[in-house]
Amino acid sequence: MSGTGLATTTLTCGARVLGEDGYLVVVELGRHGVSLENSLGERRHAQYGELAAVAITDGIAAATLQSLVPWWSGLPDPVRRRALDILEVVLEVLTGYRWGDPRLAQAGEPFPPFGDQDTSISKRCERMAELLTYEASTDRSTIRRLADGEIASTRVAPNTVRRWVREYQRLGLRGVVDRRSTKASTGFDALDERVRRIADDVFTRFDGDISKVNTTTIEADIRQQMKAQGLTDAVLPQRLFQEFLSERQRALGRNTRAQRSRHLRRKASAHTSFPAMHPSHIAIDATRADVLVWDELRERPVSVEILTAISVATRVVVGLRVTPRSGNALEAGLLLYDVMRPMSMLVEGTTVDDWRWCGVPESLDLSNVPVHRSPKRIVPPGQSLQGVHHKPGVRPSSIRCDHGSVFLSEHFIALLRDFGIDLMLSRGSKPTDNPHVERWHETLQRAYQQLPGYKGRNVAERGRKVDGTGDKLLTAPELERHLRRFVALDYHRSWHEGLVLPGAPSARLTPLEMWDAMHEVTGRLHVPQHPDLIYQFLPIRWLTIGHAGVEYKNLVYDAPFLADFRDVRKGTFQADSRKAPFHYDPRDVSRIWFRHPDTGRIHEIPWKARHLLDMPMGDWMHERALARIAERGGNTVINRKSTWRQIIAELGYLTSAEETAEARAKGYAARLRWEQAQRDHAEAAEAAVMFDSDQDGVVTPLRPRRAETDDGFDLDAEWPDYDEVGD
C-alpha cells in the first residue's frame, strides 16, 4: 500500500499497524478493509481508506491509521524515534512484549518480571528503570553527551517510567511524545480574557488627543482597574504580559500624531476590501431626483426618487426605476428583477423605442455597438446610434447597499436568500462604503440639467422659480424613459475615468467596453430568462379556492382556469390545508396570479368586477375605500353583494377629492405605482407570447414603437458639451 507518495509498505496478516493506542496487529484481510486487534485483544475494523503508509523513523515505512496523519508525520524524526522507544518500554512493562502483542514477540520475550501479572506495575517500572540505566551507561552516544555536559546523569528514575505508563494509559501514543519538543511559543491568548479586555479599553483612549505615556504607567492603570473590578484570581505571566503591552503600544504609533492618524484610518476604513472582479457584483441605492415631475391628475409638480443598480466592476447600469417617495421593499425587489432581465432599445431614424424585455438570448455580443470615444461628442464622425441597444442582464452574486429600511425588509432579504445573493451592508454614516452609486448620483445631473423643473443638487444651486419657467414638466414615466435613454445613448458609451484595464492603463474604456472585456474572461453570464420571472419578485398570499372563486380583502377573484383546483385535497399545496399560493401585487389589487403546479406557467386571476373599473386600484387605495365604507356603517354595510359597488364608488371619490397634503401625496404614489404595475405586467404578458411562439426576442421589440418621440429627443442635432464628461 502507499500513503503520501513518500513511503510504501506491504500489508499482511500479522503485520503491525501504528494507531492512537500503540501497535495493532492485522488479524484478517477483507475485501474493503482489515480487522485489527490491540494488546488487550479488542478487535476493530478499518477500511483501506483509513490506512496510510507513513515513514516511522529513518525512512522505515509502516502502516498507520489516518487518524494520526498529519500530526504524526509532522513531528521531527528524533521526536518520533524517542516516542517509539518510550512506547516499547511502556508496552513491555504492561504486556511483556515490546510491540505489545505475543504475535509480534521478539526473541526471548517475555523477560521476567515483565509478562508476570502477579508482579505489580510499580515493581515492573522499577525493574525497567534499572535496565534503561544500564543500557544508557553502555551507549557511546549517551556517554559522549554526559562527558560534554549535555546531560547530568545516565540514570533513569522509576518515577519517570511510571509517568510514561500513566500518560500512555491516559492519552495513548500522544502521551509518550515529548511535549517540550513540540511546544510553540505562548501567544497572547494565554492571558486572562478579562485582563485583555481591560487593556483594550485603556489603549483605546490613546487616539492622539492625550499625551503618550510609557508601558509602566499603562500597566499600573490596568492593575488598578483589575483591583477595582475584583479580578484577584487573574494570573499574569510577567514576561508575556510585558510583551503584550509593548506590542499594543507599538501598534498605537510612535507619537500622538501617528496615534491620531491610525485612529482615523481605523474609523474610516473597513477591515477588508470588496473584490469586485465580476460583473455580478452589484451596488444599489436610492436618491431623490433633482428634477420635479408633473402630476397629471392634480396638475401640480411633485418629487420622485430614483432607484439604481450598477455593476461595480464595469459601471454598467443594470437597473433603474423612478419611484414615488419613498420607495418600498417591493420596488427594491423589482429593481433586482430589472437587473436580471436583459432589455433592448431600438433607435431608427429619430425615433427611440422604450426599453423592452428582450427574450432568451444565448449571449450578449456588444462588440459591434458603436461607443463614445471622444470627450466632446456623443457620436464620433462616421459612427451612428442607429440600431438595437442592449442593457445586459446578470444574476447578482452580491448586493452592496446601505441600511435603508427597504433593503433590510423581510421581502427583500427573502428574495436575496431565494436567489443565493450575498447582502453586503455599508456602515452607518459612511457613504464612502458605496462610492460607485454615490458617484452615479452626480452623473445623473447631466441627465437632469436639460430638463424643465431642474432644481439643482442642493438649495444653494436652486433657482427662485424652479417650476415656473413655462416649460412643460415631464411625468414620472417620461422621466424614467428619459433616464434610460440617457444611460443607453450617453452614459454606457462615454469614457469612464474609473475603469482601468489591466495591462493597458492608458486605454479609455466605456462601461460597455469594460463589460465586453470582462465577459470574455468570465464567459456567459447566466440569467434566469423566463417571461414569468417577475412573479418570483412578488409577495405570496395563501388563499382557499372555493366554488365562487378566491376571496381576499373583501374582493373575490375567479377565472375558468381555477375549475381544476376547487376541490383539492388537504396538503396539495400547504400541509393540513386546502390553501394555494397566489402571487399578489400591492400596486394593482384588481388581479392576482396563480402558478400551475404542473407546467409552472403563470395564469392571471382577475377580480370579478374588474371590467367595471376604470381607475387605479392599488393596495393603499383599496384600504382607504374599505375604511371609508366602514366609517359609514361598519361591517353591516359590507357584504358580498354590495362591497364591489361601494369600493368602485369610493375609489372614484378618492381619485378626485381634494384631501390633505399627505393624502394627496399617498394618492399620487398609489397611482404611479399602479401605472408601473400595468407596464411591468404588460411586458411580462407580451414576453410570454413571444416565448410561446419561439420568436427571437433579442432584436425584436415587444410592442410597436411610437411613430414619434414625445419629449423633443432629436438624434440629428449635435449634443451639447457637458462640464462633467468622465465619472
pLDDT of residue 75: 78
pLDDT of residue 585: 92
pLDDT of residue 22: 80
pLDDT of residue 391: 79
**Low-confidence residues of the chain, pLDDT below 50?**
2-6, 185, 270-273, 359-383, 695-711, 713, 715-727
Q: How far apart are CA 589 and CA 644, in angstroms?
A: 13
Residues whose CB is less than 8 angstroms from the CB of residue 347 and which lie 6 or more positions away in sequence, other chains included = 353, 385, 386, 387, 388, 389, 489, 715
pLDDT of residue 322: 92
pLDDT of residue 266: 62
User: Measured in whole angstroms, how far is the alpha carbon of residue 547 from the centre of its chain?
Assistant: 45
Q: What is the pLDDT of residues 312-328, one digit of tens each?
A: 888 899 899 999 887 88
- 458 φ, ψ to 5°? -155, 180
pLDDT of residue 553: 85
Give the burial class of 110: count Cβ atoms within 10 A of its Cβ; 0-12 exposed, 13-18 middle, 19 or more buried: middle
Q: How far apart are CA 632 and CA 623, in angstroms?
A: 15
User: Measured in whole angstroms, how far is the alpha carbon of residue 717 from the centre of its chain?
Assistant: 46
Q: How far apart are CA 272 and CA 544, in angstroms?
A: 50
Beta bridge partners of 53: 63
Q: What is the pLDDT of residues 368-412, one digit of tens each?
A: 444 433 333 334 444 467 777 777 888 888 999 888 888 999 999
HEC states along 235-262?
A: CCCHHHHHHHHHHHHHHHCCCHHHHHHH
CA angle 426, 427, 428 (to 5 degrees): 120
CA angle 133, 136, 139 (to 5 degrees): 155
Residues whose CB is less than 8 angstroms from the CB of residue 632 and which lie 6 or more positions away in sequence, other chains included = none
pLDDT of residue 306: 92
Instruction: Output the pTM of the full model.
Output: 0.56
